[in-house]
Structure 1
Amino acid sequence: MRGAIIGFGAIAMGHMAGYAGIDELDVVAVVDVSEDRRRHAAEEFGLRTYATFDELTANETLDFVDICTPPSSHTELSIKGLEGDLHVLCEKPVFLPGDAGYPDLMRLIGESRRIFYPSHVYKFAPILGSMKSLTSAPGFGTVRAANFRTHRRGHAVGVAGWRPDWRREREISLGGILRDHGPHSVYLAMNMTGQTPVAVSCLAGRMRDDNRHVDTEDTAMLRLRLPDDAEISLALTWASGHRNTGYSIAGESGSVVVEGDNLTYSADGKIIRTVIESGFDDPSHKDWFRDMLLDFVDVVARPERQAALIREAVITALVIEAGYESAADGGTWLDLDVPATLPTARS
């Protein structure tokens, strides 16, 4: 399949590393508003370049587009891709509020014969794949509690040529760390536990004295209540003094803890420790994208798989929206209203 990357910034470099090892996918072109980034794509990767999506589709015959732009353009570009009869991959956050948000995009996904694929790349971190294998095993038992921690010294900085601090500019990012890192934690929580949240509570604000970035939160404490009253706690901050990533899940018969590349599993009175190098300190996540893109290829071949991915992305978006609403009301618990039916791919 022939494709193009829309937005050739820092995260696109991770995607490019993934494409390099996949024969089934061939990236031939790039769209970027920055002349600098277009020059980089042409000179370093030999790609044809365009300033707009419309220029791209007027000049290229494609099968898919991979949207790697900041959040404010995700919905518009996703709609253009589906209306152009293209498969669409979209970076998180996938579903966003707004006049052209959920309804139009959801309708198009249901009508399209193409695949809409959420780029939920954290599921493909090697150590988190091992964690899921343990938590989904019959002997682990029902999940009773989970704690996910994402500590960063600051927000990820974009390319120098185009608004490198866009993650702190609300009109582009549509939020702070809850919108940026929050989706990873939420879809992982569902993926790892096999459960869907029924209620959300959140506190969010600025913990760092930083006069440059005042209109987005740098810290969020998100709590997800599960159907049996078990709870998942998600701690996110850009105001940490050190970079750290950790996940812990406790089941009725076992527990598993991930601290960076270290995994500890406890069950039946035994403790097993192992190291699985996963590159959590590389913000491009380039070592994870190959497996994610191979999964996209599989979903194209088996479109019945799309429904579960859309459900994951929609619920993730609903949790983030509820989180912002809860935080505005002092952390009050809000019930989630999950749609009973979601679009499935047409064959």
Structure 2
Amino acid sequence: MKGAIIGFGTIAMGHMVGYSRVDELTITAVLDVSKERRDHVENTYGLPAYSDFESLVANEDLDFIDICTPPGSHAGYSELGLANGLHVLCEKPVFLPDEDGGYRKQMELIRATDRVYYPCHVYKFAPVLASLKQHIQNPGFGKVLGANFRTLRSGHAKGVPEWRTHWRREFETSRGGILRDHGPHSIYLAMNLTGCTPRSVSCLTGRMREGDPYRDTEDSALLRMRCDDGVEIAMTLSWAAGHRSTGYSVIGSAGSVVVDGDELTATAGGDVLRTTVESGFDDPTHKEWFPSMLRDFLAMTAERGHQTELIREALTTSFVIDAAYASAADEGRWTDCEVPEELLSVPPAVAA
């Protein structure tokens, strides 16, 4: 299948590495609003680069688009892709509230097409996290009782120098701070790893770095999710740390597993296993994770009914983030985050 990348920044270059290792998928064109980025694509990759979607689809024979732009334009490009009969991959956050505060329009577009709409939840394909999930699913681990996730960075990730390098701190473009940027990874991972569904959240946000010039968005968030069966999952997210680290710990009724970067420690039945699973958490492009994700997308184009679970995961993730912002605005009160069932109905065009 032939595709185009929409928005050729840092994360798109990670996607390109993934495509280079999946023979069935080929990027044949790029769209970017920056002339400098278009020149970079043409000079470095030898691909045609367009400034607008209409020119792209008029001149290229495409099967899919891969949206790697900042969040503020995800819905618009998704609509254009689906309306033109293309499969759509989209970076997180996949869903953002419509103007009326809901998600109905986006879900109606997905229901109305027979194309695959694929949220790029790439952290699930990090080797060490895949190993973590295997330990949780081991019968010797027992029932999940709770979890704690940590994402610390010494600053926000910067975009390419040619276009709004600090867009992650501009609300109009990012639609939020670290909670909207790193939050989705933690939330969809929590659901995927533990099998638990968030029901309510409590959150505090703030700007913790001294002298932080970015007033529109938060650089730190403390989030707690209450899930089924009384399971609580806590998350610490900060761009104001003095170092970079990523960690996950999950406690079971008969075991535990802790990931600190590429290091994994698991206990079960009194035994302790320590191992290193090279995963490249310090690489902001996550390029080593994308081949597995793209193969998952490819498999989904053959078995389209399987996208329902992934869309549910992405929609729930956005509802959690919306509820977390509402909670933070009200001093951390517990706030419902359940998704209305009518939004989660199986898209009829892709039902198994």
So what's the TM-score if we normalise by structure 1? Answer: 0.98
Q: Residues 345 and 158 of structure 1: is their aligned pair in 2 closer, same or farther, counting only changes over 3 Å?
A: farther
- AA aligned to 2:287 is K
Q: What corresponds to 1:113 in structure 2?
A: 114
Question: C-alpha separation between the residues in 1 aligned to 2:150 and 2:348?
Answer: 34
8 Å contact 2:140–2:269 — kept in the other structure?
no
Question: C-alpha separation between the residues in 1 aligned to 2:68 and 2:16?
Answer: 11
- AA aligned to 1:119 is C
Does 2:186 match 1:214? no
Displacement of 1:162 after TM fit? 0.3
Q: Which moved more, 1:131-140 or 1:298-307?
A: 131-140
Q: Which moved more, 1:334-343 or 1:144-153?
A: 334-343
8 Å contact 1:78–1:90 — kept in the other structure?
yes
Question: C-alpha separation between the residues in 2 aligned to 1:248 and 1:264?
Answer: 9
Q: Residues 221 and 211 of structure 1: is their aligned pair in 2 closer, same or farther, counting only changes over 3 Å?
A: closer
Structure 2 portions without partners, runs of 5+: none
Question: C-alpha separation between the residues in 2 aligned to 1:343 and 1:205?
Answer: 37
Q: What corresponds to 2:76 in structure 1?
A: 76
Displacement of 1:152 after TM fit? 0.1
What is the alpha-carbon root mean square deviation over aligned residues?
1.1
Q: Which moved more, 1:325-334 or 1:130-139?
A: 130-139
Q: Which moved more, 1:94-103 or 1:19-28?
A: 94-103
Question: C-alpha separation between the residues in 2 aligned to 1:14 and 1:267?
Answer: 36
Q: How does 1:69-218 map to 2 (within 5 A)?
A: 69-99=69-99, 102-218=103-219
Q: Residues 211 and 257 of structure 1: is their aligned pair in 2 closer, same or farther, counting only changes over 3 Å?
A: closer
Displacement of 1:99 after TM fit? 2.0
Q: What corresponds to 1:328 in structure 2?
A: 329
Question: C-alpha separation between the residues in 2 aligned to 1:62 and 1:11?
Answer: 21
Q: Which moved more, 1:325-334 or 1:51-60?
A: 51-60
Displacement of 1:40 after TM fit? 0.9
Q: Which moved more, 1:138-147 or 1:321-330?
A: 138-147
- Look up the SS of the partner of 2:187 in the other structure: helix
Does 2:243 match 1:242? yes
Displacement of 1:97 after TM fit? 1.1
Deviations 1:44-73 (A, max 9, x none): 111111001111011111100000000000
8 Å contact 1:30–1:41 — kept in the other structure?
yes
- Look up the SS of the partner of 1:306 in the other structure: helix
Does 2:321 match 1:342? no
Question: C-alpha separation between the residues in 1 aligned to 2:14 and 2:306?
Answer: 24
Question: C-alpha separation between the residues in 2 aligned to 1:335 and 1:83?
Answer: 33
Identity, in percent, stands at 58
Q: What corresponds to 1:301 in structure 2?
A: 302
8 Å contact 1:7–1:68 — kept in the other structure?
yes
Question: C-alpha separation between the residues in 2 aligned to 1:67 and 1:345?
Answer: 24
- Look up the SS of the partner of 2:288 in the other structure: coil
- Look up the SS of the partner of 2:349 in the other structure: coil
State the number of aligned residues: 347
- Look up the SS of the partner of 1:147 in the other structure: strand
Does 2:282 match 1:281? yes
Question: C-alpha separation between the residues in 1 aligned to 2:340 and 2:19?
Answer: 34
Moved over 4 A (4+): none
Question: C-alpha separation between the residues in 2 aligned to 1:269 and 1:336?
Answer: 37
Q: Which moved more, 1:136-145 or 1:192-201?
A: 136-145
Question: C-alpha separation between the residues in 1 aligned to 2:302 and 2:46?
Answer: 29
Structure 1 portions without partners, runs of 5+: none
